[in-house]
């Protein structure tokens, strides 16, 4: 389904969604941004991240996420957490959830007739054998490392597919 939607979009707009928008979704956006820049397609893409919950709206990215991202060479721009809104379904072609709970919440919010793709990020990396990116908030730095290790292959696949599509356009 993702490939079918990708054929019909002019500008690629991607939203990464997690529970609170302070760990996983900002990491996913930063990793994807880096991969897209290296592939030379970043200028053709809009991306953002958002939360399902309101608990951390207005808060900065978790310092542990910033530290682990920096160790891997990823830069997270200064930002504040925000909640997903109905307008996001009009704005973004792809809305990628970090776990099944986030996906269920997104599907419940999705307006009837929304033509974009709403799915799990890790469905882009089936070789990993998992579908959920674990929430590292209550975990150790090792959990943040695992999150990056899960997101990177999915970002690689998404960038590869988008680069192929954009070359054909």
Residues annotated as catalytic (active site), given as ranges = 18, 24, 135
Contact call for residues 13 and 93 (beta carbons, < 8 A): yes
C-alpha span between 88 and 122 (Å, rounded)? 21
Residues 6 or more apart whose CB falls under 8 angstroms from that of 79 comprise 26, 49, 60, 61
CA nearest 98: which of 22, 1, 25? 25
C-alpha span between 106 and 52 (Å, rounded)? 8
């Amino acid at each position: 389904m993702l490939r079918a939607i990708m054929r019909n979009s002019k500008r690629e707009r991607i939203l990464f969604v997690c529970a609170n928008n302070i760990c996983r979704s900002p990491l996913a956006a930063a990793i994807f941004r880096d991969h897209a820049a290296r592939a030379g397609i970043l200028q053709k893409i809009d991306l953002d991240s958002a939360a399902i919950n309101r608990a951390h709206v207005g808060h900065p990215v978790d310092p542990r996420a910033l530290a682990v991202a920096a160790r891997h060479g990823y830069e997270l721009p200064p930002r504040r957490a925000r909640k997903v809104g109905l307008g996001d379904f009009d704005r973004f072609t792809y809305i990628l959830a970090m776990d099944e709970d986030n996906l269920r919440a997104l599907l419940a919010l999705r307006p009837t007739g929304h033509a974009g793709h709403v799915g799990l990020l890790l469905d882009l990396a089936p070789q990993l054998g998992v579908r959920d990116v674990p929430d590292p908030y209550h975990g150790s730095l090792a959990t943040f490392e695992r999150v990056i290790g899960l997101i990177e292959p999915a970002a690689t696949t998404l960038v590869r597919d988008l680069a192929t599509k954009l070359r054909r356009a």
